[in-house]
DNA sequence: CGCAACCTTGATTCTGATCAATAAAGGTGG
DNA sequence: CCACCTTTATTGATCAGAATCAAGGTTGCG
């Protein structure tokens, strides 16, 4: 892969010509308003696989929108173990947990070489005052995050290992599909251990359950390459859990 | 108990003389601004134990601040089971999950006779435009909810039954204490089953674990009356899980 | 090429769920 | 106000699902 930019180098990017606009900030601004929105974004930043976008405990100043790539967020427990609280792909927003205390409460980590837009929170607040539709949209984004978390709680509290993994695969499939990728043939960007951490399972259980799904003929597993052969079977598995993930 | 108001009867209440102001909307407004904030609140509403404040699927129009009493929120799964996603006491805000889809995604249910302030979301948005400090505070409240949810995820994903229950008791104790109640002597407003649902445990496990804590001499259990005899022991139990609840 | 990280699979253990029986509390109506 | 019934809680016995322990295999990075 040809590297056009050095690691960490920043490039000005504009919302007004971003293809993710519809996912990220679908607020129906006119041309002039959109130009003002461009001023919200400080810069675009590139990260290499494994690099931290922000760390728990760091001062919070900005939200980050994923432009390309893949991220996870993790919360740390004192004894060193940490739990994955979310996976983020293009058009999704990270860092909203930091607003309440001006401090990030989780780590944000790139799972592959990635690029994000930095949205300084002060700029966002200011822009929100000028554009009520932006304001409203931002409320919705935060609310969406709360609803997403509720779904995870439901999963962690009520579902069995197979149901959790099925919900995970279906959710991933749908989000990829929304972004124009194949719904039933994709590469996992995270390890079995990270999946397990997110689902409240051990990596062995994740591995075993994937193998079981393959034996059932529902999926094909080739390391990180997953094919959903019978997505309906997976959906049936989680049918008795609404808000699934 | 003497009923001063019929069920559902509404009474105008004002933020400007509410004792919960510091918990609910601590935004340092001056007298004039506070008077305008009063206009945000539509009404105070009384609910009897067991009554629904809102139902999943209902149109979202307002947030609710608990004035007195105790609430739970639950998300429904298709097969009828539901999971408790939170308990709410005075000064806490319910309903933020409804913003993103204009529809409540969970039920809000009174666990005892209670009183809430209704905050029509439209009024809030409007007031936020006029008072940036209110705006900022509202962002913080939503962010706080996200952080709270992260803690629950950590609990559901990583902690064992004893740790979960210890975290639950300590959290309850601290929140009661913040409101001027005894930290180590309180009445549970929810059933064992509701605790279990919240913690991802079965009611028998909750009961057994409480009994065990009592045998250890850490707490005294008399049905819903709980005394923390050795809160430090409980805190030690959860010491290896930071963000605990 | 070699080492480290990651994955798979098997054997065993353990935590918490399930099944079951009893007891106590709270609400209802006579 | 009391008796009854429903709901809620406790405790025991057994079971199942996932964790843990363990070994071997694969991948991919340096």
- Over residues A60-106, the pLDDT tens digits come to 999 999 999 999 999 987 666 689 999 999 999 999 999 999 999 99
Q: What is the helix (H) or strand (E) element at residue B22, kind and residue range? A: helix B21-24
Looking at residue A29, what is its pLDDT? Answer: 73
pLDDT over 90, % of chain A? 72
Taking Cα atoms as reference points, which of B96, B98, B87 lies closest to residue A100? B96
Decide if pLDDT at A244 tops 50. Answer: no
Q: Name the packing angle between helices B161-178 and B192-199 (round to 10°).
A: 110
Note if the pTM is more than 0.95: no
Looking at residue A12, what is its pLDDT? Answer: 63
Q: Nearest chain A Cα to B127, which residue?
A: A129
Q: Name the packing angle between helices B31-38 and B121-130 (round to 10°).
A: 160
Tell me the nt nearest to B214, Cα to C1': D10
Decide if pLDDT at B1 tops 60. Answer: no
Residue A120 phi/psi, 5° resolution? -55, 130
Span A199-214, mean pLDDT?
97
Q: DSSP secondary structure string, B101-141? A: TTB-SSEEEESSSEEEEEEEHHHHHHHHHH-HHHHHHHHHH
- B30/A5: higher pLDDT: B30
Write out residues 88-147 of B within 8 Å (CB-CB) of A: 96-101, 105-106, 125, 128-129, 132, 135-136, 139-147
Nearest CB to B147 within list A97, A136, A147: A97
Span A109-125, mean pLDDT?
94
pLDDT category, B203, cuts 50, 70, 90? very high
Residue B105 phi/psi, 5° resolution? -100, 0
- Evaluate if the CB of B203 falls below 7 Å from strand D: yes
Looking at residue A3, what is its pLDDT? Answer: 42
Decide if pLDDT at A1 tops 50. Answer: no
Q: What is the helix (H) or strand (E) element at residue A198, kind and residue range? A: helix A192-199
What is the strand order of the sheet B52-54 is part of?
A: B52-54, B107-110, B71-76, B82-88
pLDDT category, B3, cuts 50, 70, 90? very low
Looking at residue A156, what is its pLDDT? Answer: 96
What residues of A are in contact with residue B242 (Cβ under 8 Å)? Answer: 75-78
Distances (CA, A) of B239 to A90, B153, B177: 36, 17, 20
What residues of A are in contact with residue B152 (Cβ under 8 Å)? Answer: 149, 153
Q: Which residues contact A31 (CB under 8 A, 6 or more apart)?
A: A16
Check: CATH 1.10.10.10 for A159-241? yes
**Over the stretch B213-245, which tens digit does the pLDDT of each residue have?**
999 999 999 999 999 999 999 999 988 654 433
What residues of B are in contact with residue A125 (Cβ under 8 Å)? Answer: 132, 135-136, 139
Looking at residue A2, what is its pLDDT? Answer: 41
Looking at residue A243, what is its pLDDT? Answer: 43
CB contact (8 A) between residue B129 and residue A129: yes
pLDDT category, A118, cuts 50, 70, 90? very high
Decide if pLDDT at B7 tops 70. Answer: no
pLDDT over 70, % of chain A? 90
CB contact (8 A) between residue A157 and residue B156: yes
Q: Which residues contact B77 (CB under 8 A, 6 or more apart)?
A: A154, A158, A240, A241, A242, A243, B83
What residues of B are in contact with residue A242 (Cβ under 8 Å)? Answer: 75-78
Looking at residue B78, what is its pLDDT? Answer: 61
Decide if pLDDT at A242 tops 60. Answer: no
B161 and A CB contact within 8 Å: no
Taking Cα atoms as reference points, which of A168, A161, A173, A155 lies closest to residue A208? A161
In 10 A of CB B131, how many CB atoms?
19
Between A28-37, A45-54, B71-80, B115-124, the lowest mean confidence (pLDDT) is in A28-37
Sequence ranges of the domains in chain B = 2-147, 159-241
Sign for the pseudo-dihedral over CA of B214, B220, B226, B227: negative
User: At A63, is the secondary structure helix, strand, or coil?
Assistant: strand
Q: Is A139 left (phi over 0), alpha (psi -120 to 50) or beta?
A: alpha
Span B167-196, mean pLDDT?
96
pLDDT category, A38, cuts 50, 70, 90? confident
Decide if pLDDT at B118 tops 60. Answer: yes
Any alpha helices (H) in B160-217, and if so which ranges? Answer: 161-178, 192-199, 203-215
pLDDT category, B27, cuts 50, 70, 90? confident
- A98/B37: higher pLDDT: A98
Looking at residue A5, what is its pLDDT? Answer: 47
Please state which CATH number belongs to domain A2-147. Answer: 2.60.120.10
Q: Name the packing angle between helices A161-178 and A192-199 (round to 10°).
A: 110
Nearest CB to B156 within list A100, A153, A197: A153
Average pLDDT, chain B: 88
Looking at residue A77, what is its pLDDT? Answer: 74
* B40, B64 contact by CB (below 8 A): no
B154 and A CB contact within 8 Å: yes
Give the residue carrying structure tokens 């009554």: B51
pLDDT category, A207, cuts 50, 70, 90? very high
- Closest residue, by C-alpha, to the C1' of C17: B202
Structure tokens at B114: 């209670």
Decide if pLDDT at B122 tops 60. Answer: yes
């Amino acid at each position: 892969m040809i590297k056009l930019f050095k690691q960490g180098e920043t490039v000005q990017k504009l919302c007004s010509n971003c293809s993710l606009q519809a996912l990220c900030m679908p607020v129906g601004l006119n041309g002039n308003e959109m130009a003002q929105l461009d001023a919200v974004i400080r810069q675009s930043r590139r990260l290499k696989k494994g690099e931290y976008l922000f760390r728990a405990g760091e001062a919070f100043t900005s939200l980050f929108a994923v432009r390309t790539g893949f991220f996870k967020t993790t919360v740390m427990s004192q004894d060193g173990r940490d739990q994955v609280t979310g996976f983020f792909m293009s058009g999704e927003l990270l860092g909203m947990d930091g607003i309440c205390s001006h401090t990030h409460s989780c780590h944000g980590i790139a799972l592959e070489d990635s690029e994000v837009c930095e949205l300084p929170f002060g700029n966002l607040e200011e822009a929100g005052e000028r554009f009520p539709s932006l304001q409203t949209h931002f409320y919705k984004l935060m609310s969406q995050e709360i609803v997403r978390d509720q779904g995870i709680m439901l999963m962690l509290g009520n579902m069995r290992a197979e149901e959790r993994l099925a919900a995970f695969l279906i959710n991933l499939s749908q989000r990829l599909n929304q972004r124009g990728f194949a719904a039933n043939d994709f590469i996992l960007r995270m390890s079995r251990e990270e999946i397990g951490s997110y689902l409240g399972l051990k990596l062995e259980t994740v591995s075993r359950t994937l193998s079981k799904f393959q034996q059932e003929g529902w999926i094909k597993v080739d390391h990180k390459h997953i094919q959903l052969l019978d997505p309906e079977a997976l959906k049936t598995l989680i049918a008795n859990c609404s808000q699934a993930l």
